[in-house]
Amino acid sequence: MEEQEKKQRNEKNNWNIRPYLAIGLTSFLVVAASISFFFFVYRFHGVAQVMDRLAVILQPITIGFVLAYLVTPIVNFEERHLLPVMQERMKNKRKARRLVRGLSVAGALLFVLIIIAVLLQMVIPELYRSINGLIGTLPRQVNSFMDWLNDYVSSDSNISGYLETALTKGTEFFEEWAQTEFLPQTRNVLAGLTSGVIIAVKLMFNVIVGIIISIYVLMSKELFIGQSKKIVYALLPGKKANAVIHTVHKSNEIFGGFISGKILDSLIIGILCFICLYIMKMPYSVLVSVIVGVTNVIPFFGPYLGAVPSTILIMLANPIKGLYFIIFILVLQQVDGNIIGPKILGDSTGLSSFWVVFAILTFGGIFGIPGMIIGVPAFAVIFYIVKKILDYILKSKRLPRDTRSYIKAQKLDIETNTLICFPEQPVKIQKPVKKDEGKKEEKKAEKKEEK
């Protein structure tokens, strides 16, 4: 007894401060995080300006990484075919790999530049001819409309009076608007044009710097991958690091498969559109095919975004052919959505139609057209990560991971840890009534009515 009392006294004297330090540190971190969050929300505009400024500064690096990521499949394809040939002819394998890497990078970038130049060569002359055609045909169309209007108005004096007063008021409004609004704004327009030219020059400079950065990234991409993995394994425990590396590989698989497949799909759609429009003798066939092919990169909404300006262009030249084009584009998109797209893309994202539309609208509303392009694979990665986390939690709780198991679930039996489903209601099958029995029932009903 005395020894136990001594131990208790010693424990009281030897006061352990560690739990109180942990509580104090946790409280401090919670308060600091709350203040930081409040400051972030309260000064959101300042944070947004800093982020925009940082995005402008890092624009060349972003362009370089994006270009390197898009060109990597071409570089890998060229290396697979060039490396065995060079290793046979060169004794030093290290020099052979460096030479093949340089040739592959140069060939891939040259291939991309040739495609861009060909597209510009196809689009710019066609666009120039289209604008000239519109300038030539539009006055005639306006004159024919005015002749028709004069013939129609001359038969009715009331309509001519209304039109005369409307034109007078419209002319007065236009003169007042030109004096008060248009002329003072011309200086702003000139300043805007000057700033637009400066922005275009800066963008071209950033693109050139981005191409140089992409060359450095492609030449030493294995080194960057190794450094990234080294940081992950240094900062995280083994299991978490493996999970991060696996998630990055899966994200690369989703992004790479979707983007390369979508580019190939859009190229096929553009070629098919050009062939069909050429056979149908549609106006502006080259320009319309390029618009349809480029906008097809945007999932779900892209074909319709490209069909609207294309329909307007064709209708200005020939309204009947514009109607034919609407029917054709609907058929082409059905072929793409049901045959070509599934064959090329397959189930690369693993998302249902609802989540595809949700991803496009959400990312498009936040990031614009780039968000509409990368929204589906980005949301597919988020969906995959959330699914893996939920599967891990359900596995730790020894619950089923299949979604169908929860459709008819009513509650969870805590004692047995099993899901209890709603009881299925039996379907009542009515027995066929015989003729004699039917007559007897009718007689009984008649007797009841008589009583």
Q: What is the pLDDT of residues 62-84, one digit of tens each?
A: 889 888 988 888 888 888 888 88
- Rounded CA-CA distance 1/403 in Å is 61
Selected residue with higher pLDDT from 206 and 151? 206
- Rounded CA-CA distance 307/326 in Å is 8
The residue written with tokens 């009947």 in the block is 320
379: closest CA among 365, 403, 401, 358? Answer: 358
Q: Report the range of poorest mean pLDDT among 148-152, 267-271, 347-351, 430-434.
A: 430-434
Q: What is the percent of the chain where pLDDT is above 90?
A: 1
Q: What is the pLDDT of residue 24?
A: 67
Q: What is the percent of the chain where pLDDT is above 70?
A: 70
Q: Which amino acid is at 95?
A: K
- HSE of 99 in the Cβ direction (CA atoms, 13 Å)? 14
Phi, psi of 241, rounded to the nearest 5 degrees = -65, -40
287: closest CA among 274, 301, 300, 272? Answer: 274
Average pLDDT, the chain: 76
pLDDT at residue 19 tops 70: no
Let me know: does 306 contact 296? Beta carbons within 8 Å. Answer: yes
- Rounded CA-CA distance 78/73 in Å is 9
The residue written with tokens 């294309």 in the block is 310
Look at the alpha carbons of 315, 319, 323, 329 in this order and tell me if their dihedral is positive or negative: negative
Residue 379 neighbours by CB under 8 Å, 6+ apart? 351, 355, 358, 359, 362, 363
Instruction: Kindly tell me the burial class for residue 107, based on how many C-beta atoms sit within 10 Å of its own C-beta (0-12, 13-18, 19 or more).
Output: middle
Let me know: does 420 contact 409? Beta carbons within 8 Å. Answer: yes
Q: Report the range of poorest mean pLDDT among 23-37, 61-75, 291-305.
A: 23-37
**Helices 285-295/302-317 angle, 10° precision:** 160
pLDDT at residue 449 tops 60: no
Q: What is the pLDDT of residue 119?
A: 78
What tens digit of pLDDT does each residue of 250-277 get? Answer: 888 888 888 888 888 888 888 898 899 8
Q: What is the pLDDT of residue 427?
A: 46
Find the mean pLDDT for residues 419-438: 58
Q: What is the pLDDT of residue 352?
A: 75
Let me know: does 67 contact 215? Beta carbons within 8 Å. Answer: no
Q: Which amino acid is at 362?
A: T
What tens digit of pLDDT does each residue of 183-232 get? Answer: 555 555 555 556 666 777 888 888 888 899 999 988 888 888 899 899 98
Model pTM above 0.75: no
pLDDT at residue 237 tops 60: yes
What tens digit of pLDDT does each residue of 322-360 get? Answer: 888 989 988 888 888 778 777 776 666 777 778 888 888
Find the mean pLDDT for residues 311-331: 84
Find the mean pLDDT for residues 287-307: 83
396: closest CA among 420, 417, 419? Answer: 417
Q: Report the range of poorest mean pLDDT among 13-17, 21-25, 301-305.
A: 13-17
Let me know: does 108 contact 74? Beta carbons within 8 Å. Answer: yes
Phi, psi of 421, rounded to the nearest 5 degrees = -95, 160
**pLDDT tier for residue 445 given thresholds of 50, 70 and 90:** low
What tens digit of pLDDT does each residue of 42-51 get? Answer: 666 666 677 7
Number of other residues whose CB lies within 10 A of the CB of residue 375: 25
**pLDDT tier for residue 9 given thresholds of 50, 70 and 90:** low
